[in-house]
Chain A
Amino acid sequence: MDLLSFFPEWVMTHGAALLVVLPLLMGVVLAILPSEKLAWALAFIVALICSVLALGLVLQIFGGESLVYSMGGWDPPHGISYVVDALSAPVLLLISLMAVLCLLYAWPSVRAEVEPKKRAPFYAAFLVCMAGLLGMVVTGDAFNVFVFLEVSSISTYVLVGMGASRDRRALTASFNYLILGSIGATFFVVGLGFLFMETGTLNMADMARILRDLDGGSRVAQVAFAFIIIGLGLKLAMFPLHVWLPSAYAHSPSFVTAFLASTATKAALYLLLRFTFTIFDVNINYVGRAEMILLVGFGVAGMIFASLQAIFQTDARRTLAYSSVAQVGYMLLGIGLATAAGAAAGYLHLLNHAVIKGGLFICLGAMWYRFGITRISDFRGLSKTMPWTMGAFTISALSLIGVPFTAGFVSKVNLATAAANEGWWWAVGVIVITSILAIIYMGNILKEAYFKEPPVVNGAIVARNEAPLMMLIPMWALALASIAIGINSDLMVQAANGAAELLFPVTNALPGGVTP
């Protein structure tokens, strides 16, 4: 079956640009729409179209060719180019698919959590955020990355702040995120300035070529690298720079949390891969050392300390937020290995974790929607009061821990194998230990839900009250996707191998699909 032939020619030629322009323009239209239903429908259609476009691009990339689109007909390196290749295409598809699933979930959840007159602008901000994330990933121009980074960040501050009608702490969470996010973006742009001083160009491919010719460049390039790593580290919640993340995830509307947890840090991680491997080269002395010390060091520290912090949280959303910081550590460890297998494993975990964490946060949102609970101690007997939601939550939780036949297992095994191949047995040990910590913090929640009776309210045991269908569809889609990846991971491994092949000239970094 040749899926590619279903797509018209213009998807291939203009799809890359349309992917960004469509949500950006429709975001403006949505902001002036009076009706919340119309806004939701339009946002959903836009997300669907973006998914179809991204699917077309992914199929073409899997066909073996990458695509360079010159904005406005100005050829790179002078014009802004959009590059769709094996590294960016899967992330594009991930972001737009997660947008579709989260929007399905948004229909009931936004009505419960956001004030009526703010709902249409809320969807507008969401589309702008999505456009920013897609733009960050698709663009081949370094300064354009900064612009899209800020487009997505500024709309994210708005989205997080919208949680105020439900939880007033969303306002302070959003403000803290704004301060730290702006510092991060400014560090990033300082880095770009130094990089421009060194290379005199803004096109990523051109930068990479010039830096290679200069053999890594002078001290200016080193300073640029440091600023860019710190800036991106703030955006992707690298361990000591993660302080904005837990409260932003815990207090924003649950729809925003589900979308951000599965896409925002992932887009920043994609940029880290781009900058450390494509623009700078691991063979450059200072880059290699920084990866070894900074990324691996902070990655491993994050895995351990964030997992420990997750255990001691009383709020389930905070537990998962800290677990997100820990999972970012796994990806950083994979990237820091600086081998093809390591980068592929990190990339694989990036995709898998988006599926897992998106599903978990949607389940938590559904529990709040029905019972208004986020504290772990309130989860008593949820397996009886919300069996379907708890089922999906359990599958995703097992996947997060890394139980065989789930997505989490596939990426953790690949990561451990990549570390072992380098002789880093201590890293394998850390992966095992943090997986045990994951059993403890997810187990805390599952224990309450399965082994305790539902609470008694007003003299009667709380009755079964399942989440609405619009919430069950996305959470089960993600839970089943997690199992499907666990049983047959060929597709994901192929995507990760393709990405690693682009970063390192080695074929088949990961040995096929790991089938337990």
Chain B
Amino acid sequence: MASKRKIATCSLAGCFGCHMSLLDIDERILELLELVEFDRSPINDIKVIRGMVDIGLIEGGVCNAESVHVLQHFREHCRVLVSVGECAVTGGIPSMRNHHSLKACLEESYIRGIGVENAHVPDDPELPLLLDKVYPLHEVVRVDYHVPGCPPSADALWYVLSALIAGRDPRLPTALLRFD
């Protein structure tokens, strides 16, 4: 039997909805596990990619210093990198904050927000610094393929994954192409 392809996944400024959609492939996940081995992923809680993986799936846009580091780590360790979902592809809903200054966003949440006590903007050094804006992945690193959708349907993700594993063109047929 041919050696299994390795897959890594992560969520940056996303809601894990795309990962939930991946799990929605239902019993096909057994077929998938025959073909691939999961490296770093929230599904198995492995924290860093060891060596190179064949396919990296990233949901969510780039919103802070940590997401930049994780994204660069994925780019360095994934032969094929795929933007998964509207947030990764366009910035999506989190990028709605781009219409306001970062200061205004923080003050709205931590200073003037309803029910805020001991109002101050969190400044623990453990917290990753926020970027000025939320960016789609391809504005930060080179991305090989994009799978839009909020989330992309399980069928769309299955189509892309099985195409990439089999070495076929993973571009979606019109019937599976959705931006919402």
Real binding pair: no
- A residues sitting closer than 8 Å to B (CB atoms) are none
